[in-house]
Structures are given as C-alpha cells and as structure tokens.
Structure 1
Amino acid sequence: MARRPVLEFTDRGIHCPAGGFHVDPWRPVDRAVITHGHADHARSGHARYLATAGSAPILRQRLGDIVLDTLRYGETRQIGDARVSFHPAGHVPGSAQIRVEVAGEVWVVSGDYKLQADGLSEPFEPVRCHAFVTESTFGLPVFRWPDPAQVAQELNGWWRDSIASGRTPVLGAYALGKAQRVLSMLDPGIGPILTHGAIETSTEVLRRQGCRLPQTFAVMPDAQPRPDPGALVIAPPAALGSAWMRRFGPVSTGFASGWMMLRGIRRRRAMDRGFVLSDHADWPGLNLAIGETGAEKIFVTHGYTDIFAQWLRSRGIDADVVTTEYAGDEAQQE
C-alpha cells in the first residue's frame, strides 16, 4: 500500500496525517500550526495553536485568549510521527516557513515570504526539502522590486512636496508589516507621523518586541480633528476615502504595495502617488527561493497560480496548483 503524502490539501487546510495537525487552516481544527499573523493565515476557532515566539504577541492581540505554544526558529518539535520546525520567511516580523519531516521525507510550507531584507523581519532562509509549498502573489515577470533606499527617498520627497502644496499626505499601507516597514523608511525630522488606530495597535506590539520605529501619534475614530502642521498620515486601505480621512482637510493620497508596479491598478485606485513596496517575493525572488530548496515537487497556492506553475513546468520542474483560501495581505481588492 502506498504511503500517504507528508501533507494533504483538504477542505480545512493543509493537513499532516502523521502529525494530526493543519498548517494555516481556514476552518476550525484541533491543532493549527501557523506561519504568521495575517488574517488569511491565522484564524480564530482552533483548539490549539503552535507558532514562532515572534508571532505570539500579534496572534494574541488579534485572536484573543487562545491556547498557544511557541517554538524558536530552528527548534524542533515531535508531533505524532512528524518532526516540525520553523524557519524565517522574511515576510513580517515573526513569520515562518514550516518544515515537516516524516520518515526522512521533508516538505516545507512557506506561507508568505520575501527575500528582500527590510531591517525588521528575520531574513528569509532557504530550507532544503523534497516538496515546497509556495505562494505566487506576484508571480509574473513584470514584478521586480526597486531598491528600498530609492522608495524611501520617494516617500520622503512626496511628504515634503505635499506639505509645501498645502496638503496632508495620507498613505495607505496594510496594518501589520507594511505600515511598520514604511515607518522605518520615513524621516521623522520632516514632521509628525499620525497613524490610524489599527496601525498603531500593531505598531505597539512590534515595538514591545524590539522593532525600532519612529514616534507615532494615533488618530482614533472618535478623536477631534487637530492641527498637525507638516504631518504625514498612515492608514489601512479600507480607511482611504472614509469619513475618518476627511478630518485632515485637503490631502494627497498615496499607496504602498507591489501592485503599484501596474499602471492600470494605480489608475483604478485613483491615488496621487503609488510606491512599489511589497512584503512578498517578486518574480526573481520566487524563482531564486524555489531553486534554493532543491525541491523535486512544487505546489503553488495563491496569486498567479496557473501562470507561475506553467512557467515552472516549462523549466522542467514538477509543479501543481493547489486551491486554498489564502488571499495574501496585498490582495488587489483591499
């Protein structure tokens, strides 16, 4: 009788039969092993959770009073007949790839990942394996990230120009990871930095973990408008164009995302400025990461799955598309 695979793709999520656990499940399970704290990977309702020590604070902040155990990067845990360990994914602070070994066969679930260093997240580390589960959020050749130093210069230049024109710059950025990366790139000497409450909450969690970020001032929904000459505002995408934003008077709107590489999406969002900045791997990064695993089998989960899998097959790599409920924190609809 053929041996069951190390991981199976089920209607609840990625399941390890030998260990009796699921990786980033999207429906309630007994034991969930979590790659990172974004909502499409870390959901409520599971009986038990296992994650990195670096992910624990944001998981507790977002999911409440959960039963959570943690491992350090590289530390192993025997769960049933499976050996499990976490390895840096470079996506956001605390994010991990999950290595699962059963009877000498190794599979790795990468979650979301990037190879470009950001000074906040633990740098991506390739993990040798037989099978690799990869995202493909930006799995097209057009996606090639610019030098972050160039993006920082553009952000600070836009801030100065907006203030000089009598407008408040309001930048859209995802609340966990992207917003803090933007913060690390800003020059606080230009003026005060105001944040939406959702961003301030995540920022405070990461500050307590040792992330060095400039001072920020939270603007809560019920707060009265106040004059903040020279301020820059950072808000989650859903707050752009909302009543919350109207308190700032004339504004210049910007958006930080890998999608800003595409002119059509910049036009549809009707932003004054787009900044190409992503916490996901670009096209060269995806290809390099997959090559460094040495994996004989690749499973592509979310993003440009069909196109990217076809590309891999054209390169002689055994690749299949797997349907999941992961959206990626930079899903176009956000």
Structure 2
Amino acid sequence: MEDLIVQRPEGLYCPPGDFYIDPWRPVPRAVITHAHADHARYGSGHYLASADAEGVLRTRLGDIHLQVARYGERLQHHGVTLSLHPAGHVLGSAQVRLEHGGRVWVASGDYKVAPDPTCAPFEPVRCDVFISESTFGLPIYRWCPDEEIFADVNAWWARNASHGRASVLCCYSFGKAQRVLSGIDPSIGPVIVHGAVQPLNAAYRAAGVPLPDTRLVTEVADKADLRRCLVVCPPGAAASPWMRRFGDAQTAFASGWMQVRGNRRRGGYDRGFVLSDHADWPGLMSAIEATGAPRVIVTHGSVPVMVRHLRERGLQAEAFETEYGDDVVEADLQLPAGEGA
C-alpha cells in the first residue's frame, strides 16, 4: 500500500490527495504548516493553512490564493480527510493530519510543547505515522521555564538602562520577537522594534494576541529614550548601519542555539538567552510518544541521532531529506521606506 506522504523534488507529496505539504518549489496545491520562510514559499497556485495563520501568512507572502480552516475542521479532498491541529510553534502553526484507506499520518512541521501565550498549545494527535522535526534532537537541549528566561532578560535590560545603555535583543522577526515581547516587563523602559518586526506585531494583535506598545526608531522623539530602551530586531540588523542610532548598546541573542557554549561568542553578542520555538529533546520524545505512532519519519535537524534513538526504543524510524531548516531570515531585512537609514 502506497505511503500517504512521499518525497518529491518539489517537497513532501500526498499521492492520493495530489497536494504538497510545505513544498520548497512552486506547486499547484500546497498545505502550509506555518509561515516561516523555509516552510511557506511564494509561487504556488493554491494554499491551505490554519485560520490563525492567515494574517502572518499574508504579511509574509502577500497576495496569494489562500484557503483557511479552523483547527480540527475536517476537509475532504480526493478521498483524503485532512485536518489541521495546533503545533505550538508560532501563531497559526499546524500539524497536518491525513486519513485515507484506514490509515492516519501526521506531518508536524515545526513544533514545541512548552507553553507560549502567543499561539495555541501543541495538541498530540494519534496516528500510525508521525513526521517529526529534529532541530534540537540531541539530549543536551533542555529548556528552562520561560519565567526564568524572562526574569534574566528583564534584569539585563534594567541593568543596562540604569547605566544609560540600550539593550538590543536579536531574534527572528516572526514568532520569537512576539514571544519575547509577550514576556518582557514594559515598565522598565520604551520598547523599539525593527521595521521587519512591526507588521508582524500588527498581525498578532489583529489575531487577538496581546503585546506591549512598540515603536519604530523613527517614531522616537526624545533621544534619551534610546539610552534606556529595549530594541527587538532580527539578527542581521545588529551588524547594519541601523544600529548606530543606539550608540554604545549591549547586544544579546535569543535562541535555542545559545544552549551551546561558544555560539554567543562566535556571534559577537554580549549575552545569550536560551529561548526556542522548537521542542527540546524531552519535548520531542514526549510528543512522539503521545502520538502512539509505531512509525516515525524524522526531518531537518539531528536526523541520524533521532532515528537511531527511536529505533533503540523499538519504533520503526527513518528519515526524509527536506529543504527545511533554521528559519530563513533574509526576508527579515526587507525594510519599509524610511527604516533602512
């Protein structure tokens, strides 16, 4: 019996349904798990995504032919029953459940199991075959609770503000930036965001996600605010002329990669905060176990380690070669008019 999802040069393909999931080449029909640039690419004829993802997906891709579905809503296409379920990764992220011929497959895209007030929580979906990412698929990756991380972020910002220095926190414009904004203490000082972050903030607010007030640097009238503010920007902005406005600022990077000693130093950051929108090792293992799937297909990340470990646990484990990976950030640096100076 043919698999419900197979690899093709264009991406992951469902043969009975004749559609792709997160294709990396333009295709007639694409089901999108979330709006990060390595999973949602422009050029396909028809897109299906979760209703929660509509705002961010249109912000990222512009004018596309988009159909949306509520979480859990069941759709029929060429005999395949398809539904989308929360992945807990970013706003609108979804796992794709496919049912056909008595079999159930779930393609999870990217996911995390830790609580996050900016998106719907991860929902385990029982299935026969589970396709799992492995971005942080090594036992060394184990996240601390968010309240501990944000206590450190706030203390760092407050200390810098007391010395008249801006605090520049680098993170991805979509997902991580909004999660950071939801966890900080805005009473410490003004919050300034890069021009790539602001439209995504607007999409989050339109979806009902509360975020503190944020300003563009061009909207700051009192230059004293630039010496006590928190600046949230994509990583590439930290090395651009845009940074000159903040003078002798302290810089930090928020990422799961900060778990590894040396990554902060190689990036030239003063601080590193271990904050990820992906599952850590215990999260990956618990999510896979909760599906009850006897067969697991591993994608992008620490694939050989995950496959070997899952086989040792008695599961049928294998890998898909994909073009997914750490979020593509080039699009983060496309500035609105007036923000590039």
TM-score, length-scaled by structure 2: 0.93
- Map of 2:310 onto structure 1: 312
Q: Deviations over 1:134-178 (max 9, x none)?
A: 000000111100011011100000001111223211000110110
Contact 2:84–2:94 at 8 Å: present in 1 too?
A: yes
* 1:226 to partner: Cα distance: 3.7
Q: Where do 1:1-334 residues align within 5 Å? A: 3-219=1-217, 226-228=223-225, 229-329=227-327
Q: Quick one: structure 1 residues 140 and 225, their matched pair in 2 at CA, closer, same or farther if it must change by over 3 Å?
A: farther
Runs of 4+ in 1 over 2 A off after TM superposition: 222-227, 328-331
* 1:114 to partner: Cα distance: 0.2
* 1:267 to partner: Cα distance: 1.6
Q: Quick one: structure 1 residues 223 and 212, their matched pair in 2 at CA, closer, same or farther if it must change by over 3 Å?
A: closer
Contact 2:38–2:328 at 8 Å: present in 1 too?
A: no
Distance 1:249 1:44 in 2: 37
More divergent stretch after superposition (147-156 vs 321-330): 321-330
SS at structure 2 position matched to 1:49 = strand
Any unmatched runs of 5+ in structure 1? none
* 1:224 to partner: Cα distance: 9.5
More divergent stretch after superposition (26-35 vs 266-275): 266-275
SS at structure 2 position matched to 1:175 = coil
* 1:318 to partner: Cα distance: 1.1
Contact 1:112–1:328 at 8 Å: present in 2 too?
A: no
* 1:308 to partner: Cα distance: 1.2
Any unmatched runs of 5+ in structure 2? 333-341
Distance 1:227 1:198 in 2: 24
Distance 1:211 1:64 in 2: 21
* 1:314 to partner: Cα distance: 1.5
- Report the aligned-residue RMSD: 1.7
* 1:219 to partner: Cα distance: 2.8
Contact 1:225–1:247 at 8 Å: present in 2 too?
A: no
Contact 1:56–1:70 at 8 Å: present in 2 too?
A: yes
* 1:225 to partner: Cα distance: 9.5
Distance 1:89 1:24 in 2: 14
Distance 2:211 2:274 in 1: 21
Contact 1:8–1:14 at 8 Å: present in 2 too?
A: yes
More divergent stretch after superposition (226-235 vs 50-59): 226-235
Contact 2:258–2:273 at 8 Å: present in 1 too?
A: yes
Distance 2:34 2:157 in 1: 31
Tell me the matched-pair count: 329
* 1:330 to partner: Cα distance: 8.4
Counterpart amino acid of 1:25? P
Contact 2:164–2:228 at 8 Å: present in 1 too?
A: no
Which structure has greater helix proportion? Answer: 2
SS at structure 2 position matched to 1:238 = helix
